[in-house]
Amino acid sequence: MAKFFAVTIIVIAILSAIPILRHTWWMAQDISTHGQAIDEQMSETMAEAGISFLAAQILLAVFIWMFSHSKPGDKIKNFPGGATTMVLGAFLLVGTEVLALGAFGAKAWAKIYFTPPAADALPVQVQAGQFAFYFRYPGPDGKFGPIHPNLVSEANQNFYGIDIDHDADAKDDIVTAEMAVPVNREIHLLMHSKDVGHSFFVPELRVQQDFVPGLDLSVHFTATKIGRYEIVCTQLCGLGHYNMKAYLSVLSQEDYDNWLKKQAALQ
């Protein structure tokens, strides 16, 4: 049975690795400017994790195979170098490997989070609430009208609680159920939660960020490929969590301008 077990381990290890190597189920295409660093980091990590996984499983299998059929008179052997080899190996190989991953990964992270948005980034606000995303564009004045929580009303379709009668900045705000952005233009996404915790995830954009009620956060990104993508909520927010999604259209500048005009007319 030991030999069968050893073979099973190796078969399972190889079968597990195949879908990874063949990218059978893999990340969506990258349409962002910052995503390449993430994808490179992912490949690096996959290689190291993959090698560690296969090496360790194979070693386990080989040792089970080799040392499970002892005969009377066989002597116990110590692994050459003893535990010292193991400890040194762990520190030197694994330690340097993970620290390198950490250092390079920090660079990728810094590019996203430690650089401020460009001065001419297009501001778009997204509000997450049970169970839909709504987006707000500031209109020609470039300013968002203040949110009045006591005026928020799904029934009246006033999702942001804006007061167009009394707030000048709110008059030209455009609120939509779908998000559209012009291609190759940096977007400054302002994130606001209406009620509980949610999260904004667009795999193609390589962006995932939680909404924190009471804290107004933001991320910034640039989309490089025209197309239609999905925004999904990834922070459990209640019974409709699975259904909380919106479409993101990345459009040419011209198409985007037309779209925005159409949306403005619908306000």
Partner 1 sequence: MHETAHAAHQAPTSFIRKHVFSLDHKVIGKQYYGLALVAVMVGMFLSWLMRIHLGWTNFAIPGLHLLSANGAPGNVMTPEYYLQLMTMHATIMVFFVLTTAPFAAFGNYFLPIQVGAEDMPFPRFNMMSFWVTLTAFIVLIASFFVSDGPTLGGWTQYAPLSAVGSVGGPGEGMGVVLWATSIAIFCMGQLLGSLNFITTTLDMRTKGMSMWRLPISSWGWFITSIMGLTAFAVLMPACILLILDHVAGTSFFVPSNLVINDQLQPHAGGSTLLWQHLFWFFGHPEVYIAIVPGMGIVSHVLVANMRRPMLSHRTLIYSFGALAVLSYMVYGHHMFVSGMNPVSSIVFSFPTLIITIPSTIVVLIWLGSLYGARLRINSASLFALGFISMFIAGGVSGFFLAQPSIDIMVHATYFVVGHFHMVMGVAAMFGIFAGTYFWFPKMYGRMMNETLGKVHFWFSFVGTYCIFMPFHYLGLAGNVRRYQAFVVDYMQPLIPLHRFITIAALVTGAAQLIFVFNLFYSRFKGAPAPANPWEATSLEWSTPSSPPPFDNFGGKLPVVYHDPYQYGVEGSTGDYVMQDSPEQIHSVRDEA
Which residues 118-157 are close enough to bind partner 1 by CB under 8 A?
Answer: 129-130, 149-150, 152-155
Least separation, in Å, of the C-beta of 100 and partner 1? Answer: 10
Least separation, in Å, of the C-beta of 136 and partner 1? Answer: 15
Closer to partner 1 by Cβ: residue 69 or 119: 69
Element (H, E) at 260: helix 253-266
Closer to partner 1 by Cβ: residue 90 or 118: 90
Span from 162-170, 207-215, 248-256, 258-266 in contact with partner 1 (CB under 8 A)? 207-215
CA distance 262 to 49: 49
- Residue found under tokens 């952005």: 181
Tokens of 171: 């008059």
CA distance 205 to 106: 19
Which residues 13-72 are close enough to bind partner 1 by CB under 8 A?
Answer: 16, 19-20, 24-28, 37-38, 41-42, 45-46, 48-50, 52-53, 56-57, 59-60, 63-64, 67-68, 70, 72
Size of the site for partner 1 (CB under 8 A): 106
Tell me what percent of the chain is helix, strand and coil, each rounded to the nearest 5.
40, 25, 35
Closer to partner 1 by Cβ: residue 50 or 123: 50
Tokens of 62: 């080989």
* Residues 6 or more apart whose Cβ sits within 8 Å of residue 61: 5, 6, 7, 9, 10, 13
